[in-house]
């Protein structure tokens, strides 16, 4: 195992533990919602991490379409896989929070629906990769990723016009987030990003080994078959 990977894994572990402590102990309890609000420190960082991973998937897919590099294809694959996992965390933690606070598990509001559609698009992407046969997988997957990315703004605008209920963003304009809460949120985001990249990294190495092995096996089979008897 590469030392850089081990060091990064240990750092991520420390950061994750501190983030957990910060979210559960350091952060003040929210006045109206109470302790259930603490899910915010998992929900929001997971969402940001998922969106960043999907952006990486799009960039890697475009790079693949231009340069046809195997590395870009593996990056696109692993970022989509890990992105879908984080997006699932968002979609699961959201209703757990919404039930006591809004009184309903789910509402067809703009951010919820857009996130759900995004999840559907990337699950379709992963299914395409799984069902695809032969060597053209990388190309057709990259093309689908471009279509998915083009779709996101259209999904957002269509649902924006449709309806809106999600709490408006608390970061940036008009936000009134307690500084300690903001600090804890950012710590958690950093921890989740590190964790996401750690999983991507190890998945990247696994996929690389898998492809190298397949290539070697194919080559060996060819040599064996083609060898004079």
Partner 1 sequence: MSSLSSITRATLEKDMRLEWRSKDTINSMLFFALLVVVIFSFAFNPTAEESRAIAGGLVWTAFLFAAVVALNQTWARELRNQVLDAYRVSPAPAVSLFLAKALGNFIFVSILEALMTPLFIVFYNLRALGPAWQLIPVAAFGTWALVVNGTFFAAISIRTRSREIMLPLLLFPISIPALLAMVEATTAILTGEDSAKFWIVLLGVYDLVFTSACLLLFERILHAE
Neighbours of 97 (CB within 10 A): 18
Q: Which is nearer to partner 1, 101 or 146 (CB)?
A: 146
Distance CA 208, CA 216 (A): 12
| Candidates 7-15, 17-25, 151-159, 185-193; binding stretch for partner 1 (CB under 8 A) | 151-159
One DSSP character per residue, 63-85 reads HHHHH--HHHHHHHHHHHHHHHH
Long-range pairs for 206-213: beta carbons < 8 A, 24 or more residues apart: 207/74, 207/77, 207/78, 208/74, 211/70, 211/74
CA 84 to each of CA 10, 60, 117, 118: distance values in angstroms, whole numbers, following the listed order: 24, 16, 12, 9
Q: C-beta of 35: minimal distance to partner 1 in Å?
A: 36
Q: C-beta of 68: minimal distance to partner 1 in Å?
A: 10
Q: C-beta of 154: minimal distance to partner 1 in Å?
A: 4
**Which tokens hold the place of 105?**
């598990």
Of the candidates 148, 181, 188, 197, which one interacts with partner 1 according to CB under 8 A? 148
Contact 64, 76 (CB under 8 A): yes
105-144 mask for partner 1 (x: CB under 8 A)? ------------x--xx-xx--xx--xxxxxx--xx--xx
4-43 mask for partner 1 (x: CB under 8 A)? ----------------------------------------
Q: Is 161 in the site for partner 1 (CB under 8 A)?
A: yes
**Residues in the site for partner 1, rule: CB under 8 A?**
65, 117, 120-121, 123-124, 127-128, 131-136, 139-140, 143-144, 146-148, 150-151, 154-155, 157-159, 161-162
């Amino acid at each position: 195992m590469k030392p850089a990977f081990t060091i990064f894994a240990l750092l991520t572990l420390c950061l994750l533990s501190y983030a957990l402590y910060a979210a559960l102990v350091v952060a003040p309890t929210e006045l109206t919602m109470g302790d259930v609000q603490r899910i915010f420190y998992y929900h929001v960082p997971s969402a940001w991490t998922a969106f960043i991973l999907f952006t990486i998937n799009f960039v890697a897919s475009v790079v693949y379409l231009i340069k046809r590099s195997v590395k870009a294809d593996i990056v696109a694959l692993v970022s989509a896989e890990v992105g879908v996992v984080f997006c699932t965390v968002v979609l699961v933690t959201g209703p757990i929070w919404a039930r006591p606070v809004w009184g309903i598990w789910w509402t067809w509001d703009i951010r919820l629906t857009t996130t759900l559609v995004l999840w559907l698009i990337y699950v379709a992407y992963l299914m395409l990769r799984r069902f695809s046969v032969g060597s053209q997988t990388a190309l057709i997957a990259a093309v689908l990723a471009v279509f998915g990315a083009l779709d996101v703004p259209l999904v957002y605008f269509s649902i924006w016009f449709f309806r809106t209920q999600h709490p408006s963003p608390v970061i940036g304009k008009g936000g009134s987030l307690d500084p300690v809460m903001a600090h804890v949120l950012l710590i958690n985001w950093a921890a989740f990003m590190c964790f996401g990249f750690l999983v991507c990294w190890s998945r990247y190495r696994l996929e690389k080994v898998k492809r190298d092995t397949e290539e070697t096996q194919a080559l060996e089979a060819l040599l064996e078959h083609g060898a004079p008897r």
